[in-house]
């Protein structure tokens, strides 16, 4: 009996912790291709970039934890292939590891752009600690930084760059930032906040070429304008690292397909985190959720299934983002919602947007409003109806908004 975990990121380390917490006493090995202890990525675009935390602040557990808990780390090496019949994996150095259960936690990689000039120096991505180190070096006061992509990573990077005194232009192909992941009022709010911090936006704008000899000096937009820059950050989404699973015949569909308990199409193989496409029963869909809470939830499910312990309860998906002095917390997914109720005054930068189907809350987006977020998350889980007029009135205590 032994568990091999492929990927030493947030999900990989968390499933090892959950296995030990559940009393699993057999050997556990984590194989990770980054040559550092498993660490958390969220600070990479926030506190780490601004120099507010060092490496020890990113690490999920110190080395002593892995030693004390008999978790073997094989870091700086890749799993090359999975042999499902022989139940072993082969590493890049030719070693093989047997498993009784395998957990694939290979995450996702930053999507690259392929237009002319995309390989110039100074065009940076943000997925790993190494990426963040490179980026930090470019973010000096007065530098001109163009950020391609107005998603969460792009906007958090923009906020950090402004905090460091760099000049920032965000180029977004869609008509609004956060188009895939937030509602229109929230996109507008965040655009205005960034503009108030002197960031510039180019919306409905596509990059056709990066300009420069060896180092990027500008980006050319589809309308012919060239925005000059000292560095460009590309934050245009992530691609799941599901090739290992595809190659050994495990079902994939833009991500490894898993059930609600992180099981793949092979009963001995589990998959968790950004690499998975998972069901969300409440929303009747299969989705890829790129978030820490999702990786943690799936780690609990995989560990419980491997140990034969009680199935953990399903959780409401949630996410957070920090930009300037704002903490955004989102719970639930606003699919097919009919109405948005605003609670609080957006001008005060403390408010919540509740997405409703009838009188039931399906999702909440809360800015500097942790109580609304927590209450909303509970409402979503329990499907409790609310009274819209009370919810919209911030003078009514949130607990008194139930129908
Ligand atoms: P990862 O943490 O990416 O780990 C996967 C690991 O597997 C990587 O080290 C990878 O190199 C390795 N690997 C891949 N293939 C192999 C192989 N064949 N052999 C060995 N190793 C392999 N989420 C939030 O909830 N809130 C946030 O504010 C937030 N901010 C973020 C900011 C940034 C800049 C980034 C990049 C992500 C952020 N996220 C945030 C997302 C969050 O970090 C991810 O959802 C989480 O890391 C997923 O964990 P994972 O284990 O699935 O993948």
Confidence of residue 164 (pLDDT cuts 50, 70, 90): very high
Task: Using the predicted structure, report yes or no on whether residue 55 has a pLDDT greater than 90.
Answer: no
Residues 6 or more apart in contact with residue 21 via CB below 8 angstroms: 303
Task: Using the predicted structure, report yes or no on whether residue 350 has a pLDDT greater than 90.
Answer: yes
Q: Residue 34: how many CB atoms within 10 A of its CB?
A: 15
Distance of CA 207 to CAs 145, 195, 202, 228, 237, Å?
A: 14, 21, 10, 13, 15
pLDDT value for 178: 96
Looking at the structure, tell me whether residues 346 and 243 fall in a common domain: no
Confidence of residue 136 (pLDDT cuts 50, 70, 90): very high
What average pLDDT score do residues 17-40 get?
A: 98
The pLDDT tens digits for 265-316 are: 999 999 999 999 999 988 889 999 999 999 999 999 999 999 999 999 999 9
Distance (Å) from CA 10 to ligand 1 centroid: 6
**Last residue in a domain, options 234, 251, 280:** 234
Distance (Å) from CA 294 to ligand 1 centroid: 11
Looking at the structure, tell me whether residues 33 and 105 fall in a common domain: yes
Confidence of residue 56 (pLDDT cuts 50, 70, 90): confident
Looking at the structure, tell me whether residues 141 and 224 fall in a common domain: yes
Q: Residue 199: how many CB atoms within 10 A of its CB?
A: 21
Counting beta carbons within 10 angstroms of the beta carbon of residue 328, is it exposed (0 to 12), middle (13 to 18) or buried (19 or more)?
buried
pLDDT value for 241: 98
Q: Which of 242, 321, 248 is nearest to 81 (CA)?
A: 248
Looking at the structure, tell me whether residues 104 and 243 fall in a common domain: yes
Indicate if ligand 1 lies below 6 Å from the C-beta of 44. Answer: yes
Axis-axis angle for helices 10-21, 292-307 (nearest 10): 40
The pLDDT tens digits for 8-28 are: 999 999 999 999 999 999 999
Distance (Å) from CA 339 to ligand 1 centroid: 33
Looking at the structure, tell me whether residues 261 and 223 fall in a common domain: no
Confidence of residue 326 (pLDDT cuts 50, 70, 90): very high
Distance (Å) from CA 221 to ligand 1 centroid: 31
Looking at the structure, tell me whether residues 176 and 188 fall in a common domain: yes
Looking at the structure, tell me whether residues 76 and 135 fall in a common domain: no
Looking at the structure, tell me whether residues 265 and 338 fall in a common domain: no
Beta-sheet strands, E only, within 178-325: 200-202, 207-212, 216-221, 226-228, 231-234, 238-240, 256-257, 269-271, 276-280, 285-287, 318-323
- Residue 318 within a domain: no
- Residue 131 within a domain: yes
296 with 272: CB under 8 angstroms?
A: no
Indicate if ligand 1 lies below 6 Å from the C-beta of 33. Answer: yes
Tokens of 291: 């978030």
User: How many independent structural domains does the chain possess?
Assistant: 3
Indicate if ligand 1 lies below 6 Å from the C-beta of 320. Answer: yes
Looking at the structure, tell me whether residues 116 and 79 fall in a common domain: no
Axis-axis angle for helices 152-163, 184-196 (nearest 10): 20
Tokens of 312: 């953990």
214 with 201: CB under 8 angstroms?
A: no
Indicate if ligand 1 lies below 6 Å from the C-beta of 244. Answer: yes
**Last residue in a domain, options 214, 234, 254:** 234
Mean pLDDT (the chain, rounded)? 97
**Last residue in a domain, options 183, 205, 234:** 234
- Residue 58 within a domain: yes
Q: Which CATH number goes with the domain that contains 219? A: 3.50.50.60
What average pLDDT score do residues 170-187 get?
A: 95
pLDDT value for 279: 97
Looking at the structure, tell me whether residues 149 and 174 fall in a common domain: yes
pLDDT value for 370: 98
pLDDT value for 283: 87
Q: Which CATH number goes with the domain that contains 340? A: 3.30.390.30
Ligand 1, from 292, 299, 303: best to mutate by most atoms within 8 Å of Cβ? Answer: 292
Indicate if ligand 1 lies below 6 Å from the C-beta of 138. Answer: no
Looking at the structure, tell me whether residues 139 and 99 fall in a common domain: no
The domain of 138 spans 112-234
Q: Which atom of ligand 1 is nearest to the CA of 45?
A: 34
Indicate if ligand 1 lies below 6 Å from the C-beta of 41. Answer: yes
Indicate if ligand 1 lies below 6 Å from the C-beta of 149. Answer: no
12 with 105: CB under 8 angstroms?
A: yes
- By three-state DSSP, how is residue 310 classified? coil
- Residue 141 within a domain: yes
What average pLDDT score do residues 228-241 get?
A: 98
Give the H/E segment covering residue 330: strand 326-332
Ligand 1, from 289, 291, 320: best to mutate by most atoms within 8 Å of Cβ? Answer: 291
Distance (Å) from CA 130 to ligand 1 centroid: 13
Confidence of residue 143 (pLDDT cuts 50, 70, 90): very high
Distance (Å) from CA 403 to ligand 1 centroid: 40
Indicate if ligand 1 lies below 6 Å from the C-beta of 376. Answer: no
Tokens of 31: 């194989």
What average pLDDT score do residues 260-264 get?
A: 97
Residues 6 or more apart in contact with residue 103 via CB below 8 angstroms: 3, 4, 5, 6, 12, 15, 262, 269, 270, 271, 272, 302, 306
Looking at the structure, tell me whether residues 347 and 296 fall in a common domain: no
Ligand 1, from 5, 42, 47: best to mutate by most atoms within 8 Å of Cβ? Answer: 42
Largest Cα–Cα distance of the chain, in whole Å?
65
- Residue 312 within a domain: no
Q: Is the pTM here over 0.85, yes or no?
A: yes
- Residue 346 within a domain: yes
Distance (Å) from CA 57 to ligand 1 centroid: 16
- Residue 101 within a domain: yes
The proportion of the chain whose per-residue pLDDT surpasses 70, expressed as a percent, equals 100
pLDDT value for 69: 98
- Residue 317 within a domain: no
């Amino acid at each position: 009996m032994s568990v091999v975990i492929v990927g030493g990121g947030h999900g990989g380390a968390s499933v090892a912790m959950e296995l030990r917490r559940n009393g699993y006493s057999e050997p556990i090995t984590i194989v990770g291709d980054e040559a550092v202890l498993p660490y958390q990525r969220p600070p990479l675009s926030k506190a780490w970039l601004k120099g507010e935390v060092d490496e020890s602040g990113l690490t999920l557990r110190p080395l002593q934890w892995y030693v004390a808990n008999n978790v073997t780390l094989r870091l700086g090496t890749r799993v090359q292939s999975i042999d499902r019949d022989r139940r072993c994996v082969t590493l890049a150095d030719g070693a093989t590891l047997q498993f009784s259960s395998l957990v694939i936690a290979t995450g996702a990689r930053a999507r690259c752009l392929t237009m002319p000039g995309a390989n110039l120096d100074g065009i940076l991505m943000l997925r790993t600690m190494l990426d963040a180190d490179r980026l930090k070096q470019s973010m000096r006061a007065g530098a001109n930084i163009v950020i391609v992509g107005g998603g969460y990573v792009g906007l958090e990077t923009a906020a950090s760059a402004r905090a460091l005194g760099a000049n920032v232009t965000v180029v977004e192909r869609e008509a609004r930032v956060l188009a895939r992941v937030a509602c229109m009022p929230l996109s507008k709010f965040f655009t205005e906040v960034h503009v108030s911090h002197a960031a510039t936006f180019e919306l409905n704008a596509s990059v056709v070429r990066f300009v420069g000899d060896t180092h990027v000096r500008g980006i050319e937009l589809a309308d012919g304008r060239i925005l000059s820059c000292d560095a460009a950050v590309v934050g245009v989404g992530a691609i799941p690292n599901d090739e290992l699973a595809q190659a050994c015949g495990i079902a994939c569909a833009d991500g490894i397909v898993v059930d609600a308990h992180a099981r793949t199409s092979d009963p001995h193989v589990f998959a968790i985190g950004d690499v998975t496409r998972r069901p969300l029963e409440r929303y009747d869909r299969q989705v890829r959720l790129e978030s820490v809470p999702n990786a943690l939830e799936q780690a609990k499910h995989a560990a419980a299934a491997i140990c034969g312990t009680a199935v953990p309860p399903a959780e409401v998906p949630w996410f957070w983002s920090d930009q300037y002095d704002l903490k955004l917390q989102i719970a639930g997914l606003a699919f097919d919602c009919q109405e948005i109720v605003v609670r609080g005054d957006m001008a005060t930068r403390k408010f919540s947007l509740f997405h409703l189907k009838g009188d039931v809350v399906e999702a909440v987006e809360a800015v500097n409003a942790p109580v609304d977020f927590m209450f909303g998350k509970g409402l979503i889980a329990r499907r409790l109806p609310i009274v819209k007029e009370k919810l919209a009135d911030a003078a009514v205590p949130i607990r008194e908004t139930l129908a």
